[in-house]
Amino acid sequence: MTVILDCEITAHQEIAPGHKRIVLRAAPIAAAAAPGQFCMLEAHEGLYPFLRRPMSIEHIYKDGISILYKVLGLGTRLLAHMPTGAVINVQGPLGNSFPLPEGYDRYLMVGGGIGIAPFPALAEAIMQRLGRTPELVAAARSDGQLLLVKEFARMGCPVHIVTDDGSAGMKGYASDALRALEPDERTLVYCCGPTVMMAAVHEVCAERNVTCYASLEAEMACGDGVCMGCVVETTAEDEARRMARVCREGPIFDTRDINWKAGVRP
Amino acid sequence: MNAVNLQVNLGGLVMKNPVTVASGTFGYGAEYDQYFDVSRLGAVTVKSLTLKPRAGNKPPRIFETPAGMLNAIGLQNVGLDAYLADKLPFLREKNCTIIANIYGYGPDEYAELARRLEAEGGADAIEANLSCPNVHDARHARGGTLVSQSPEKVLEYTRAIKSATKLPVFIKLSPNVADIAAPALAAQEGGADAVSLINTLLGMDIDPETRRPRLGNIVGGLSGPAIRPVAVKMVWDACRALDIPVLGMGGIASTGDALQFLLAGARAVAVGCMSFRQPDAALKIIEGLEEYCIRQGITDINDLVGAVRI
């Protein structure tokens, strides 16, 4: 069940230049949350910025959650200034969650930049509930923007690094790294990152008949299925189902259900 | 306990308090019932209904602006049949007062929607959206494409809807006109029981980096606290010209905001996109209005309508 709650910030620190982790005391949210779900954070009491900020859940603890975010605009800048001990209003958990089907040989998470944010909770669930250890493709523009590599290594997950400029790991894109890992029908892929990256990951998966679940991002007003603002075009043809809400039908979608051509701007 | 009368009569629609929600900001009511009992609202105004389901515009559909937001949803909705079958039972079970917002292509479709809503018990009042800014492709549309920008058309459409139903009919007007009194008076002449204003202000935002419009539809409707002073002024203008009551809306975020609309002459108010930020914003305003009346020694909220001291 979704709740709206004033949460104490129990930790708030920079984990890489321009990227922060916020830890919130939020037992009711944690109790209801599943990997892949998100929360709407009120970065500011005033009316500018006006809307809450949707952010996916990184870790689910007993008494709270953590969230990773990139400081990008006004909302995240204001959020970044909130000190430990301060109180922030949070609505969550929202949206669907990553499917956790049994029986695959390999579980592969592909994260681009801050898109890696929902994977720690996913990895924990795969390990605890499926008894399997997922692999991670960590993609970023360059070395300095790689996130959570050590954390995943500590969890025992094999990590494959790829950077646009080759400053760490393989030189190339996330989709190149994925192709090099030769996934097949016995592999389940999860991905999250920029739309162009997810579209390319989907292509690799589609070529090889690999099921892939993507966590999508969109501008959101309500986060709760009301405003119809965050929709993504699907492959469904009938008028009532052609647009799917990222906040409600998503944020996790089977990439075969998404019309990637419509979503990627040249 | 009820020392203060909050009940109002909006053109024949009795509301237990003067606060509803703006169409499109509250779904079909059930979505926000998880946060508070939505039957406490004076009325629930549902998302615009069309005869057939609509997928709406291409994304991106929203963009945040200073103290507000632009939207170009394009009336994505489930359609009348699915509303009656799937959404209405919840509202009736909760005993909500229902304002059904409708959108049609031509006066006949509006009339058909109103007729069917009345026949099937789908509404306690009809709000005809003659002012959606987002159903035309901005690449091709030139100005003057909204029905409510033409007083002649407002008259024609209002008459068509009124002749189709005995339910109270509210006409929702666009602020994108030189003189809001003109379409408002046309609605009154056509037999409207009230007018709703304002719909969103047309707006546009461009990303300088990509040089692309932020919205898939290029332009959209601006709402939120940023537009509130414009809305209050237009409500005041309309109320001075009209004999029928006004449902005021545009950027209401607090009790004080709602009071401004009442003082400017609105008989009732609608909370819009503030519900996105704070789903129980309208409930807080209802409670705040009662507290205000007690504090000011007002026993009937109707005494505040038009009570601005000029």
The string of pLDDT tens digits covering residues A158-182 is 999 999 999 999 999 999 999 999 9
Break chain A into its structural domains and give their ranges. Answer: 3-94, 106-262
**Chain A closest CA to B283's CA: distance in Å?**
15
ipTM of the complex: 0.95
Partners of A229 on chain B (C-beta within 8 Å) are 61-62, 71, 73
Euclidean distance between CA atoms B106 and B104, whole angstroms? 6
For residue B99, what pLDDT is reported?
98
| CA terminus-to-terminus distance, chain A | 39
For residue B3, what pLDDT is reported?
85
Q: Give the structural domain span for B167.
A: 8-57+75-201+224-304
**Does the pLDDT value for residue B144 go beyond 70?**
no
* B273/A265 touch (CB, cutoff 8 Å), yes or no: no
**Chain B closest CA to A163's CA: distance in Å?**
23
* A265/B212 touch (CB, cutoff 8 Å), yes or no: yes
For residue A237, what pLDDT is reported?
87
Partners of B24 on chain A (C-beta within 8 Å) are 227-228
- CATH number of residue B243's parent domain: 3.20.20.70
Q: Is B53 on the interface with A (CB under 8 A)?
A: yes
* A221/B273 touch (CB, cutoff 8 Å), yes or no: yes
Model confidence band, residue A266 (pLDDT cutoffs 50, 70, 90): very low
Percent above pLDDT 90 for chain A: 94
For residue B131, what pLDDT is reported?
86
Considering CB atoms only, which of B24, B61, B276 is closest to A51? B276
List pLDDT tens digits, range B232-278. 999 999 999 999 999 999 999 999 999 999 999 999 999 999 999 99
Considering CB atoms only, which of A1, A51, A242 is closest to B69? A51
pTM score, whole prediction: 0.96
Contact B276, A222 (CB under 8 A): yes
Alpha-carbon distance values, B108 to B48, B113, B114, B151, B301 (Å):
16, 9, 10, 18, 38
**Does the pLDDT value for residue B293 go beyond 80?**
yes
Partners of B83 on chain A (C-beta within 8 Å) are none
Give A6-48 as a DSSP string: EEEEEEEEEEETTEEEEEEE-HHHHHH--TT-EEEE---SSSS
Q: Which amino acid is at B292?
A: Y
* Residue to substitute from B28, B45, B76, interface A, most A β-carbons within 10 A: B76
Residue B206 lies in a domain: no
**Does the pLDDT value for residue B120 go beyond 80?**
yes
For residue A161, what pLDDT is reported?
98
**Chain A closest CA to B186's CA: distance in Å?**
31
Domain A3-94: give its CATH code.
2.40.30.10
Q: Is B83 on the interface with A (CB under 8 A)?
A: no
> Which among B96, B132, B239, B273 is annotated as catalytic?
B132
Percent above pLDDT 90 for chain B: 94
Contact B26, B32 (CB under 8 A): yes
If contacts are CB pairs under 8 Å, which of residues 238-277 in chain B contact chain A? 253, 273, 275-277
**Chain B closest CA to A118's CA: distance in Å?**
23
* B275/A222 touch (CB, cutoff 8 Å), yes or no: yes
* B32/A226 touch (CB, cutoff 8 Å), yes or no: yes
**Does the pLDDT value for residue B134 go beyond 80?**
no
Contact A57, A48 (CB under 8 A): no
For residue A239, what pLDDT is reported?
82
Q: Which of A91-100, A189-198, B145-154 has the lowest mean pLDDT?
A: B145-154
Q: Residues A12-17: what's their mean pLDDT?
A: 95
Residue B66 lies in a domain: no
Higher pLDDT: B181 or A264? It is B181
Contact A127, A242 (CB under 8 A): no
Strands (E), B103-259: 125-129, 169-172, 194-197, 201-204, 206-207, 212-213, 219-223, 246-249
Contact B64, A50 (CB under 8 A): yes
**Does the pLDDT value for residue B136 go beyond 70?**
no
* A224/B279 touch (CB, cutoff 8 Å), yes or no: yes
* B56/A243 touch (CB, cutoff 8 Å), yes or no: yes
**Does the pLDDT value for residue A78 go beyond 70?**
yes
Taking any CB pair shorter than 8 Å as contact, residues of chain A touching chain B are 1-2, 4, 42, 47-52, 91, 218-233, 239-240, 242-243, 262-263, 265
List pLDDT tens digits, range B56-89. 999 999 999 999 999 999 999 999 999 999 999 9
The 3-state DSSP class for residue A80 equals helix
For residue A264, what pLDDT is reported?
63
Q: Residues A202-218: what's their mean pLDDT?
A: 97
Contact B195, B173 (CB under 8 A): yes
B132 is catalytic: yes
**Does the pLDDT value for residue B143 go beyond 70?**
no
* A227/B276 touch (CB, cutoff 8 Å), yes or no: yes
**Which residues share a beta bridge with A258?**
A234
Contact B270, B45 (CB under 8 A): yes
Partners of B62 on chain A (C-beta within 8 Å) are 219-221, 227, 229-230
**Chain A closest CA to B282's CA: distance in Å?**
15
Percent above pLDDT 70 for chain B: 96
Residue B43 lies in a domain: yes
The number of distinct structural domains making up chain B is 1
Mean pLDDT of chain B: 95
**Chain A closest CA to B188's CA: distance in Å?**
31
Other C-beta atoms lying within 10 Å of the C-beta of residue B144: 11
* B67/A47 touch (CB, cutoff 8 Å), yes or no: yes
Other C-beta atoms lying within 10 Å of the C-beta of residue B5: 16
Strands B169-172 and B125-129: parallel
CB neighbours of A184 closer than 8 A, spacing ≥ 6? A208, A209, A210
Euclidean distance between CA atoms B105 and B51, whole angstroms? 9
Which of these, B231, B254, B63, B75, lies nearest to A51 by C-alpha position? B63
Contact B225, B278 (CB under 8 A): no
For residue B2, what pLDDT is reported?
58
Considering CB atoms only, which of B34, B67, B82 is closest to A2? B34
Q: Is B156 on the interface with A (CB under 8 A)?
A: no
**Chain B closest CA to A236's CA: distance in Å?**
11
Residue B256 lies in a domain: yes
Q: Is B36 on the interface with A (CB under 8 A)?
A: no
**Helices marked H in B16-150 — which ranges?**
80-82, 88-93, 107-119
Q: Is B50 on the interface with A (CB under 8 A)?
A: no
**Does the pLDDT value for residue B1 go beyond 90?**
no
Contact B241, B181 (CB under 8 A): yes
Contact A42, A54 (CB under 8 A): no
Q: Does domain A106-262 have CATH number 3.40.50.80?
A: yes
Lateral strand order in the sheet of A159-163: A170-171, A159-163, A135-140, A106-112, A187-192, A211-215, A252-254
**Which residues share a beta bridge with A91?**
A4, A40
For residue B270, what pLDDT is reported?
98
* B59/A230 touch (CB, cutoff 8 Å), yes or no: yes
Element (H, E) at B256: helix B255-264
